[in-house]
Amino acid sequence: MDQPENVNQGTRRNFLSQLGALGAVAACGSAACSCSSGSNHEQYETGNKVKLLSPDGEMVEIDESHLRHVHKTVGVSREAARQGIPGKKFVMVIDLAKCKNARKCVSACQKMHHLPEDKEWVSIRLMKDSEKGSPYWFPKTCFHCDNPPCAKVCPVDATYKRSDGLVMIDNERCIGCKFCMAACPYSTRVFNWDEPVMSSELAALSYSPETSLPRKIGTVEKCDFCPDMIREGKLPDCVTACPNGVFYFGDENEDVVTNGDETIRFSQIIAERGGYRYAEDLGTKPRVYYLPPRDRIFPVERGLDGKSEELKERYMDILNPDKEEV
């Protein structure tokens, strides 16, 4: 079978530089720089170096992975945040053959959205389609459905569908009824039971649905495809953090998706690789497509390398279905 047409192949660094993602000189240690050396999450170094001015006036060079994203809400009205980006129809493609449970997408999402380690907007499941089939790793985000049941049941219009395909939550409207969580057939939403731990800089931000900051107790949260970043022409953090290029993101109207390393035709890769939408028979019309785990790059067991015993235990019912419980 022919490979999908590669519209533009290059390094992840080149892709980001075309978008003007980096290169500015900031004051390290300030709210604008927000260096992440104290983060508990794993760092995946990209190889992209950024020059910064230290508090002592010294020019230093660090990997971009050690910087936190600066959340910009200025210039985006509440109305614009609810309407979406005109002319766009965002879509995600996840290549199951490439996933080995590296979990960089999980930690990058947590870092980007200032989530504790027990909150996952992106999760990695171990799936098995039949008794005799082989298991495979299955990253799961919000599916941003075109026919979202979550939006239909919200009594205060806190959950809504944008024109660009994103399903969003306005936590200033959310009353914590959890109707949306009950209506979502994919269980991709989480509830804030505890008061979120945030820095004073984050707590002082004016709330924006595009950043979901400041986070609020008693409200529902989920994957949002990083709308503040894509408004700036950047990719969601889960896409750029993945070391294996599992996630592709792009605009269906332009028929293009990219993982940062390669840019391909959306319609072609779906047609030639047998792309599908999870539980499509429910009629929700997800905007996330999966490529079947054929010709996998890694054996599934590699996904447990270096993982904690607690994390391994999540997957034992799939890996060892005949193991007797003690």
Question: What pLDDT, on the 0 to 100 scale, is given for residue 198?
Answer: 86
Q: Count Cβ atoms below 10 Å from residue 91 Cβ, excluding itself.
A: 23
Q: pLDDT of 180-228, one tens digit each?
A: 999 999 999 999 999 998 888 888 888 888 988 899 999 999 999 999 9
**Closest by CA position to 247, among listed 141, 113, 148:** 141
- Per-residue pLDDT at 167 exceeds 90: yes
CA 35/CA 30 separation, integer angstroms = 8
Report the share of the chain in percent with pLDDT over 90.
Answer: 56
pLDDT: is 295 or 285 the higher one? 285
CA 112/CA 115 separation, integer angstroms = 8
Domain definitions of the chain by residue range: 6-66
Question: What pLDDT, on the 0 to 100 scale, is given for residue 65?
Answer: 62
- Per-residue pLDDT at 325 exceeds 80: no
Strand, coil or helix: what is 310? helix
Question: What pLDDT, on the 0 to 100 scale, is given for residue 42?
Answer: 47
Q: pLDDT of 257-276, one tens digit each?
A: 999 999 999 999 999 999 99
Q: pLDDT of 98-113, one tens digit each?
A: 999 999 999 999 999 9
Answer whether 93's CB lies under 8 Å from 275's CB.
Answer: yes
Q: pLDDT of 52-91, one tens digit each?
A: 666 565 767 777 666 555 555 445 788 889 999 999 999 9
- Per-residue pLDDT at 144 exceeds 50: yes
Question: What pLDDT, on the 0 to 100 scale, is given for residue 4?
Answer: 59
Question: What pLDDT, on the 0 to 100 scale, is given for residue 168?
Answer: 97
Mean pLDDT over all residues of the chain? Answer: 83
pLDDT: is 32 or 137 the higher one? 137
Backbone angles phi, psi at 288, to 5 degrees: -115, 125
> How, if at all, do strands 90-95 and 123-127 pair?
unpaired
- Per-residue pLDDT at 39 exceeds 50: no
- Per-residue pLDDT at 120 exceeds 50: yes
pLDDT: is 293 or 130 the higher one? 293
